[in-house]
Amino acid sequence: MTAADGPAAAAARLTGRRVTGERRAAGGLTEVELDDGRRVMVKRGGDARAVLAEAAGLRWLAEPGAVRVPVVHGWDDRWLVSDRVTEGGPGPAAASRFGRALAALHASGAPAFGAAPPDGPVEAYIGAAPMRNARGGDWPAWYAEHRVLPYLRRAVDGGILRAAEAAVVERVCARLPELSGPPEPPARLHGDLWNGNVLWGADGEAWLIDPAAHGGHRETDLAMLQLFGCPHLERVLAGYDEAAPLAGGWRRRVPLHQLFPLLVHTVLFGRGYAEQTLTAARAALAAG
């Protein structure tokens, strides 16, 4: 990659401003300073669909004004340019506010389970894994068909999970109508809400980045947030439940909702996550 097609050139082209400085940042990002004093982050996507999905997802999540999301300044087939978030540290009060804001984001809704953001692609991504945003009207059936089983098949085909082990997950899918709790309307999900995709700004308030946004069950975002930890997690959850009370038994359903991200990680990173997937599947069955 030459300077002519690098992150600085992309920032200049997509913002219409002259670049006055750049530096490499964590996660393969590049921080670029523009001639009007703004600092933006430039990210190279895996392909055109990945860039479009992220740009559309960020705009969709920002639309309700519930949670802070970096402004998207432009994108093309390879590059995404968005605001830079000046990071600080979280506090318990800010964590409670984040929980309430996340509840408001979810409540802004989606047209259907699996609905992509407006102008977003059906064939999208979660991290580096393909993710299909096919619509469904019934959450248990949709979750099994479009979130759990595709990654289970890939894990078995790749030799990461054995057929007998996959049968445990298949039993969860067969029992989803009884395990999934009361019906919920489609929520506007971040879709990849692990701790690394929550940034805490200089004022302590939370920002969301790197979404795999779609219409889904609100408990899925919360389960993913619990999977890899989050500062002041119980304050986040309490703030959420205060703003939008969760259905009874939601804590017992956390392993059920964690099956999706765990299977994605199994496909991407191997056997260690396969063991966690089986533990979650057994816990989901036991909870029912």
Confidence of residue 4 (pLDDT cuts 50, 70, 90): low
Residue-wise pLDDT tens digits, 118-165? 999 999 999 999 999 999 999 999 999 999 999 999 999 999 999 999
Residue 229's pLDDT is: 87
Our answer to whether residue 36 is catalytic in this structure is no
Confidence of residue 51 (pLDDT cuts 50, 70, 90): very high
Going along the chain from its start, the domains and CATH numbers come out as 3-83 (3.30.200.20), 92-287 (3.90.1200.10)
Residue 60's pLDDT is: 98
* All residues at 6 or more sequence positions from 26 whose CB lies less than 8 Å from its CB, including other chains: none
Mean pLDDT of the chain: 95
Residue 172's pLDDT is: 98
Residue 123's pLDDT is: 96
Residue 46's pLDDT is: 86
pLDDT at residue 80 tops 90? yes
Confidence of residue 3 (pLDDT cuts 50, 70, 90): low
What are the beta bridge partners of residue 32?
22, 40
Residue 266 token pair: 């199994």
Residue-wise pLDDT tens digits, 206-251? 999 999 999 999 999 999 999 988 999 999 999 999 999 999 999 9
| CB contact at 8 A, 220 and 106 | no
pTM, two decimals, is: 0.95
Confidence of residue 98 (pLDDT cuts 50, 70, 90): very high
SS (H, E, C) 61-120: HHCCCCCECCCEEEECCCEEEEECCCECCCCHHHHHHHHHHHHHHHHCCCCCECCCCCCC
Distance of CA 86 to CAs 32, 71, 81, 194, Å?
13, 13, 16, 19
For residues 169-190, give the mean pLDDT: 97
State the catalytic residue, choosing from 192, 210, 221, 241. Answer: 192
Confidence of residue 26 (pLDDT cuts 50, 70, 90): confident
